[in-house]
Amino acid sequence: SIFSLLIAIKFHEKYRIFWSKIAIKIPIFGGVFLAYNMQEFTRSFWVLISSGSGLIEALNHASQGCNIALRQDFQRISQIIEGGMSLSKAFKTSPYVPDFFVRLCAAGEKSDQLPFFLVHACRFAGGYFKHKTGRFLAILEPIALLTVGSLLLWVVMAIFVPLYEHVSNVDF
């Protein structure tokens, strides 16, 4: 049943990971969900790096506000960075991290001004999220209009069809 599925998702880690990966891959909605998570991660990562936190520590703390699938990916990236790979190259291995973030991190590493470039990544992530949300709502509005129209038609038909049948049976 649906209730048992919700309980499994809530309490079993395996199911939570599975459904969080599914949520990211859903057409249209998955893009909005991923954009939102990247916006939150980027903002947290920028604040932590700007305040002087270490790279690994900032990455681990910033990933705590993300989807479980993203959190696992950021933990994997953290381990890659601890192994000696650069930040931008480690982010490039992720299927979830957008190219703009990788490029801005690479520019920040090369110029030794990572916090400055993370500010721009944060702004760009916010704009990207607004764009994805706008596209989602542009698709959702006609669907909602058709749904409400169908429900209204059903209610009107439920009232008038019996009334019409009753009136048509009356002899004048």
- pLDDT tens digits along 59-83: 999 999 888 889 999 999 999 999 9
Average pLDDT rounded to a whole number, residues 145-172: 88
What H or E segment, with its residue span, contains residue 163? helix 114-168
Mean pLDDT of 54-60: 91
Question: Could you tell me the CA-to-CA distances from 134 to 30, 41, 67, 107 in Å, in that order?
Answer: 14, 21, 21, 29
Residue 167 has pLDDT above 70, yes or no: yes
Would you tell me the crossing angle of helices 68-82 and 55-62 to the nearest 10 degrees?
170
Q: What type of residue sits at position 10?
A: K
In this predicted structure, the answer to whether residue 15 has a pLDDT above a threshold of 80 is no
pLDDT band at 172 (very low <50, low <70, confident <90, very high): low
pLDDT, average across residues 94-103: 90
pLDDT score for 8:
65
Q: Using pLDDT thresholds of 50, 70 and 90, give the confidence band for residue 22.
A: confident
What share of the chain has pLDDT > 90, as a percent? 58
Find the range with the poorest average confidence among 22-31, 85-94, 101-110.
22-31
pLDDT at position 14 over 80: no
Residues 6 or more apart from 136 whose CB is under 8 A from it?
28, 29, 31, 32
